[in-house]
Amino acid sequence: MDIEKLIIIGSGPSGYTAAIYAARATLSPLLFEGVAAGGQLMLTTEVENYPGFPEGIQGPELMPLFKKQAQRFGTRIVSDDVVSVDFSARPFTVKSGDREVKAESVIISTGAQAKWLGLESEAKYQGFGVSACATCDGFFYRGKEVIVVGGGNTAVEEALFLTNFASKVTVVHRRDEFRAERILQDRLFANPKVEVIWDSAIDEILGETHPTGAVNVTGARLKNVKTGETREVAADGVFIAIGHAPSSELFAGQLETKAGGYLVVKPGTAATAIEGVWAAGDVTDDVYRQAVTAAGMGCMAALEAVRFLAEQDHKAEGHPIAHKEAEKIGAW
């Protein structure tokens, strides 16, 4: 079996940026795109804070550009999801649904996925009024009333997007202020369709079952987290936007995680504790979680991988001054 020089797992801004840099260093990386190809930006609409697009760009338009740029320099892309990895010995093993690949180095850019509340009623009505993707499902709520749960950028953006369809958007947030960017908050507060209910969490999602067995959401019971008081709010849809959790389960037991499940990297680098394995983007970033920071971390990981592989080559050739040579090769 051939041994790949570099495998990149994930296809958001961090994975593709790593691929662009690694491909330009002629490593011909193999990138596993996964079923959530393109990452979280594929579920957004207008991206207004990615530099270089002064008029903004649609998330689903931006990500194919990343992909194209990565492919231009020789990145090979497979669409499979990685199902397991073995980092216990190098070359490392990466398995997907239909293949097993060995690699000298791996960059993990698996990103993060939307969090759910974890209520039974939420699971019951998922796809029937409960959604985590306003851009996918907003269309079905024309002239209807919806609830958005959360207080970060995603929640406020989803609420604003839903005002294009819904007659009323109620934002439910467990604190008394939003974490979202000021500009988004200002837009939200100025929108006459929006009502905000502070200090409240979803206690239960309410719905009905028709004689045919079909179910649909009729509203939610909210609980004030300060007073304990409950109230019911009628709605046809409930959009969950309470943040994201890192997609790091694949590496459990092999790589160290910190609170929230984020992969640990050495400060100021993208290196994990295993030599030859890097992590970049939302899977490791519990602070910034932006497309542009993910891209930056992907670049760091690729440059570190390029240097590492050059050092390995020199060691293999028995050069005594391998490190100095590698430094010359290094791109920074």
Partner 1 sequence: MSELTLTSANFDQSVNAGGKPVLVDFWAPWCGPCKVMGPIIEQLAGEMTDVTMAKLNVDEHPQMAQRYNVLSIPTFIVFKGGQPVDQFSGTMTKDAFKARLQKHL
| Binding flag, residue 136, partner 1 (CB under 8 A) | yes
Cis peptide upstream of residue 54 (ω within 30 degrees of 0): no
Contact stretch for partner 1 (CB under 8 A) within 38-46, 149-157, 264-272, 307-315? 38-46
Check if 299 is active-site: no
Q: Which stretch binds partner 1 (CB under 8 A): 12-20, 122-130, 158-166, 168-176?
A: 122-130
Contact between 133 and partner 1 per CB under 8 A:
yes
Residue 75 CA from chain centroid, whole number: 21
Q: Hey, which residues between 71 and 110 contact partner 1 (CB under 8 A)?
A: 79-81, 97
Rounded CA-CA distance 287/8 in Å is 22
Choice from 65, 68, 86, 140 touching partner 1 (CB under 8 A): 140
How many residues make contact with partner 1 (CB under 8 A)? 26
List the catalytic residue out of 137, 236, 282, 285: 137
Considering only residues 50, 60, 290, 322, which one is a binding residue for partner 1 as defined by CB under 8 A?
Answer: 60
The angle, 0 to 180 degrees and rounded to 10, between the axes of the packed helices 182-190 and 153-162 is 30
Strand partners, 271: 278
Check 80, 81, 133, 286 and give the catalytic one. 133
Contacting residue, 25, 42, 180, 301, with partner 1 by CB under 8 A: 42
Kindly state the smallest distance separating residue 135's Cβ from partner 1, in Å.
7
- Identify the residue among 10, 15, 38, 150 touching partner 1 (CB under 8 A): 38
- 137 binds partner 1, rule: CB under 8 A: yes
User: How far, in Å, CA of 332 to CA of 312, rounded?
Assistant: 18
CB of 279 to partner 1, least distance (A): 22
Among 128, 224, 245, 292, binds partner 1 (CB under 8 A): 128
Pick out residues in 221-280 that bind partner 1 (CB under 8 A).
237
Q: Which residues bind partner 1 (CB under 8 A)?
A: 35-38, 42-43, 59-60, 79-81, 97, 126-129, 131, 133, 135-137, 139-140, 214, 216, 237
Active site residues: 133, 136-137
